Amino acid sequence: MRFAIAALLLLLQDPLSDGDFRELHARLVPGADEKWQTIPWKTDLLEARALAAKEGKPVFLWSMNGHPLGCT
């Protein structure tokens, strides 16, 4: 019930204020220091393969429907 009332108020209120904008933007944009971002991901399969051949390493490929780094 409380959520329904809050939702209704949100809909009826004026468009986002400057203060709302700043607070929301800061809350939504994550920092660049999340652990998964410290992994040096390549986004091109053949580039990764060529680098692996040069460095004498195997490739680890994370393949998803929807790009793992940029979607969902």
* Residues that bind another protein in the complex, under the rule CB under 8 A: 3-4, 6-7, 10-11, 15-18, 20-21, 24-25, 27-30, 32, 34-53, 55-72
**Least separation in angstroms between CB 33 and another protein:** 12
Contacts of 68 (CB under 8 A, 6+ apart): 62
* Least gap, CB of 58 to another protein (angstroms): 5
Give the up-direction half-sphere exposure of residue 8: CA atoms within 13 A in the CB hemisphere: 5
For 69, list phi and psi in degrees, rounded to 5: -95, -15
Q: How far is the CB of 31 from another protein (least distance, A)?
A: 11
